[in-house]
């Protein structure tokens, strides 16, 4: 009796696309706002739990969203390095539904 082929290399769930040599880049998606549409990108940082907890407590103490604190810090870093502080918070988008 012939041996059945292995299923180890078969994709599970979503259909996978072949890998290319080019890095994967997310397409720009315009965010809807009252003054027209703008392009926004997401930034993710992995930090230790103690650092996250301190940032969270700071946000609570200042009564500000953590995102606002991070945007201020990023703009300050740009300014300190001779760059224009151009980072803006995405305005709230009203969702239908």
Cβ neighbors of 87 (< 8 A, separation 6 or more) are 71, 74, 75, 78
Q: Is residue 79 part of a domain?
A: yes
pLDDT of residue 28: 44
Q: How far apart are CA 51 and CA 28, in angstroms?
A: 30
- Structure-block tokens of residue 41: 């990108």
Q: Is residue 56 part of a domain?
A: yes
pLDDT of residue 91: 78
**Predicted TM-score (pTM) of this structure:** 0.55
- Structure-block tokens of residue 12: 């599970």
Q: Is residue 78 part of a domain?
A: yes
Q: How far apart are CA 37 and CA 29, in angstroms?
A: 9
Pair 49, 55: CB distance under 8 Å: no
Can you give the residue range of the structural domain that contains 51?
A: 46-84
Q: Is residue 60 part of a domain?
A: yes
Number of domains observed in the structure of the chain: 1
Q: Is residue 59 part of a domain?
A: yes
Could you say which residues of the chain have pLDDT below 70?
Answer: 1, 7-38, 92-97
Q: Helices H, strands E: what count in the chain?
A: 2, 2
Q: How far apart are CA 94 and CA 89, in angstroms?
A: 15
């Amino acid at each position: 009796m012939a041996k059945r082929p292995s299923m180890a290399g078969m994709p599970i769930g979503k259909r996978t696309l072949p890998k290319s040599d080019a890095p994967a880049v997310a397409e720009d998606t315009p965010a809807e706002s009252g003054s027209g549409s703008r392009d926004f990108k997401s930034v993710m940082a992995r930090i230790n739990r103690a650092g996250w907890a301190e940032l969270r407590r700071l946000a609570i103490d200042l009564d500000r969203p953590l995102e606002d604190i991070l945007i201020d810090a990023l703009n300050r870093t740009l300014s300190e390095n001779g760059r224009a502080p151009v980072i803006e918070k995405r305005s709230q988008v009203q969702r239908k539904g």
